[in-house]
A and B are shown apart, each in its own frame.
Chain A
Amino acid sequence: MTALPRWADVILLPVLNVVLAFLVGGLIVLAVGQNPIEAVGIMLYGAFGYGSGFGYTLYYTTDFIFAGLAVSLAYHAGLFNIGPEGQAYVGGLGVILIGLALNGTHWAIVFPLMIVCGALFGAAWAFIPGYLQAKRGSHVVITTILFNFIAASMMGYIISRILKPAGVNSDESAPLEAITRVPQLRSFIELFRNSPVNLTFFLAIAALIFVYWLIWRTKFGYAVRALGNNPVAANYAGISNQKMIMIVMALAGAFAAMVAVNNVGGVQGRLILNFVNGAGFVGIAVAFMGRGHPVGVGLSALLFGILYQGGQELAFQMPGITREMIVTIQALVILFTGAMGDMLRGPLGRIFTQPDPVAGGK
């Protein structure tokens, strides 16, 4: 592999890959006879142009930060966690159970308990694939995919048969009282008018800082990175790989479950079918684009927040473009930053190692 200057490796290459993904996306928009530049303009207006639009952007960003961290954390340990979707779904069960148990209690008491309880449920759900990988050698990629489906069926059953109160038609749990729900920022800040962004947003920012500290400033983080870079060496250095795999997966599940705090606790106030709605999968794109670093994850989560909120606006303004274009962009981002992330490394390397004309080269 060609060695690149550090700044090129850390900033230039990822940015080029993202630009490439968006260029291809633009070409697709162009191919169906729409104007990509105009589309970008509308999206930016939808994401930042007015208060509630901006609030929605931050609300989506919150989800994507947690999902992105759930993927990156596992990736640092060399594990590809495709399961945040299911982990967040199951986390929702923990959030709603504690919420309903303490329904009517002030949110200041319930909010921390929702975090803990949701985290426990999400962690438990992610722990099983972790255990199976560590102790039984079943590949975590496959098991987390399977667990997404199992979670969907299980939660469907729980919501429609157990949590659904009598006399309610749609498949959802009983609602939380207003005082128990995580407060939305619009109750303090006028700007956010009708948007669902809530206190969980600050939890997401805190989570980013926490993960930075955890991965790069603690012994535990060192062990995680050692495992990810070279499991054999990690083992030789006295790290128990099996234990680490299980802990990291559980931790990833706990982060994924925070999507449920944002959604169930802060917005819906009840558990509805399929509330995660793909946010867990966006986490995959966010993690690769952000290269697993909290700063990168935060920025990519914001970018996807813009895309999701702006995409909503786009669907109103340009009937030729549906919101699914965002899923396409998401796919291109995963493809170019994740799967083909090193495609430009060769050409870039050649540019940087060109003989210096002044020194006369080699």
Chain B
Amino acid sequence: MEQALVDITLILDSTVRLAVPLILACLAGLYSERAGIVDIGLEGKLLAGAFAAAAMSAVTGSAWLGLLAGIGAALLFSGIHGLASINFKGNQTISGVALNFLAAGLTTFLGQSWFHRGGYTPQLSGDQRFNPITLPFANELREVPILGQIYWELISGHNIITYVAFIAVPVTAWVLFRTRFGLRLRAVGENPKAIDTAGISVTLLRYQALIITAVLVGIGGAYLSIAQSAGFNNNMSAGRGYIALAALIFAKWRPGPALLVCLMFGFLDAFQFRIQGQSFPLIGEVPVQAIQALPYILTVILLAGFIGRAVAPKASGIPYTKER
């Protein structure tokens, strides 16, 4: 019984760790897609953010500067995305795909040119990373059965970005549904003409959304390289941007459900590590690949409308042209 509790706490703890980049990327995507800009490029922004953060942190020795660089890289990518899809009214999907390749190519190329370690950045330690924070009384309460243990293992002992990610969820919900900016953001994703008629700039709103997207996904990228790991390695986002996109669809573009779906996908990931090579009664050994594919399969089933219906914001993917 005692062991089962420890097991569950540990698996939930790694669920949280694995869910953080998903939550940040998913919320990031939520802002831009709610504003009518499809963001296939989340994966690339995540990767670019991770690389910039690790590179900056390795050079300057400061995790905070690394974080800023991560956000900066994501902003640059969002800028290109905005230029292509807002100003030049290009195809947002194509531009997102281009960004993903751009990040994959540039991070390895620049990493090799700058650090000569086969695309890896130098190992980071100490202040170059965001280290675990021990919440007040965590050590004292550690001996308290169950609740104390959960507090010590699951709630305390994460790095600052983890807490930021969880706080970002209610903040996003509040911004989106309780502020004037949120109302406009949702409107521009559903009916940009109405926004334009009301005398509000569609272009400005969409750029604002892209900026918020970049900040969040940049933090997510920094989490990967300077919080969760101690340095950047090739393609370290490993499809998380796409999973976040899937989670966004699964959550039907709402912040609360987005958190739950990301935690679920994070749990699947943690669970898959845990059960590798283990045999279960009745079903035998579950192939790792089956669990790896599960988030994608679930999203396909959802998209196909077999479990509820996911309807994207109406104007998403369509560049807005003001009538002359």
A residues neighboring B (CB under 8 Å): 28, 32-34, 80, 82, 132, 136-139, 141-143, 145-147, 149-150, 153-154, 156-157, 161, 281, 284-285, 288, 320-322, 324-332, 334-335, 338-343
Contact = CB atoms under 8 A, between A and B. Distances in A.
Contacts of B99: 331, 335
A335 B305 contact: no
A324 B90 contact: no
B95 A339 contact: yes
B89 A137 contact: no
A322 B108 contact: yes
A331 B101 CA distance: 5
Contact of B104 (A132, A143, A324, A342): A324
24 contacts: A32-B114, A80-B94, A82-B97, A136-B305, A146-B299, A147-B296, A149-B242, A150-B293, A153-B292, A321-B109, A322-B119, A324-B106, A327-B101, A329-B105, A331-B101, A331-B103, A334-B94, A334-B98, A335-B80, A335-B84, A335-B98, A335-B99, A340-B95, A343-B88
A110 B2 CA distance: 61
Contacts of A326: 105
Across chains A and B, which 6 residue pairs bring their CB atoms closest together, nearest first?
A327-B105, A328-B105, A339-B95, A331-B101, A331-B102, A153-B293
A330 B40 contact: no
Nearest to A34: B113
B289 A154 contact: yes
B109 A328 contact: yes
A141 B40 contact: yes
A189 to B, nearest CB: 34
Interface string B294-324: 0011011001110000001000000000000
Given A138-B305, A143-B303, A149-B239, 15 more contacts: A139-B303, A142-B249, A145-B245, A146-B299, A153-B290, A153-B293, A154-B289, A161-B287, A288-B94, A324-B108, A335-B94, A335-B98, A338-B91, A339-B94, A340-B83
Contacts of B200: none
B110 interface: yes
Contacts of A331: 98-106
Contact of A341 (B90, B93, B239): B90
Contact of A132 (B242, B290, B293, B303): B303
A133 to B, nearest CB: 10
